Amino acid sequence: MLRTLLVKASESPTLRRQVTSRRLTRDVAMRFVAGDNLDAGLDASRALARSGKTVTLDYLGESVTAEHEARAAAKVVLETIDRIGQAGLPAGVSVKPTQMGLRLSPTLCLELLDDIVTAAEAIDQHVTLDMEGSDVTEVTVGLVERLLTAGHREVGCAVQSYLRRTRADVERLSAVGASLRLCKGAYAEPERLAFQSRGEVDANYVACAEYLLADGVYPRIATHDDRLIDHVRNLAVRLGRGRDEFEFQMLYGVRPTLQDALVRDGYRLRVYVPFGDQWYPYFMRRLAERPANVAFFLRALRDT
C-alpha cells in the first residue's frame, strides 16, 4: 500500500511543486541525487572512481511531450559521454526511452539512441536503457534488439523482477548478446502483470540472477538486499564466475558502507548516479522501492 501511494505521488504535479519548492526536502533528496547539473554528476563520479567504483550517469527526465525536448535531452547525454571521455572516467550512461521521445515517435527514439550508443562505443563505454512502466516494456526490449541487430554491442537494458514476463525477457535478450541490469522495479503495476508480494518478487529475482550468472552476458546485479547479494556471491562461486565477470550495482547515496565493503572484497561495484533538475519522480520511486529509504528520509527530516 505504501509503495503504491509513493508511486502515485511521484506522478502528482501538486506534490512535485510542494516538495521541490521546500529547501528541507530538497536537501534530503540531494543525498540520492548528485546535483542539478552535469558538473555535479561528474564531480560525484570522480569521487566514486577514486574509491574503486565505476559509474553509470543518468540525466534525469522522462515522458517528454515534444520533439525538441527529446533532442535537447539527447544533447545533454551526448555532452555527458563526451566529458566522460575527456576525463577518462570509468562511466557509462543510463537513458530512459520516454525521455528520448518514445511515446511521441519510436523512430525518433531509435534515432537518438543510435547516436548515443555510437558515441558511448567510441569511448568504450556502455549504455543501459532504463526500464520504465509496463506500457513500454515490450518496445524497450525491441529497441535493444534493434540496436544490437544494427551492429552495436555496448547496449542493454534494465529488467525488473516484479514483472511476470521478466524471466522470458532475460532469456530473450541474453540470446542476442545484451548485458542486463537486474533490479526489482519501482512502478505500480496490476497483479495480472506483476507479482505483488515481496516473496514472489525476490523469488523471481533469484531465478533471473541464476540464469544470468549461468548463461548471461556480463550480468549487472542491482540490489541493496543483503540476502540477495549473499545468494549471488555464493552462486557465482558454484558456477565458477570470476569476480570480474559480473558486477553489483547500487544507487548513489544508498548503503555506501556496503558498497565499499564489496569493493574491498574484490567485487566490481557500479553506482547509478542521477543528476539534473527533474529529480522529483526519481526520488519518490526510490522511496517506494525500498522501505528503508522511507525511514532514512524521515530520520533526515527529523535531524535536519
As given in the structure block, the three cell numbers for residue 208 are 533471473
Closest CA to 104 of 135, 148, 63, 149: 63
Catalytic site residue from 3, 58, 103, 130: 130
Q: What is the DSSP string of 58-102?
A: EE-----SSHHHHHHHHHHHHHHHHHHHHHT-SEEEEE-GGGGTT
Q: Is 181 a catalytic residue?
A: yes
Rounded (10°) angle between helices 166-175 and 137-149? 10
Q: Which of 181, 241, 268, 270 is catalytic?
A: 181
What is d(CA 282, CA 132) in angstroms, rounded to the nearest whole number?
A: 11
Residues 6+ apart with CB under 8 A from 123: 81, 84, 85
The region that residue 158 occupies, defined by phi over 0 for left and psi between -120 and 50 for alpha, beta otherwise, is beta
Which sequence positions are flagged as catalytic? Answer: 130, 181
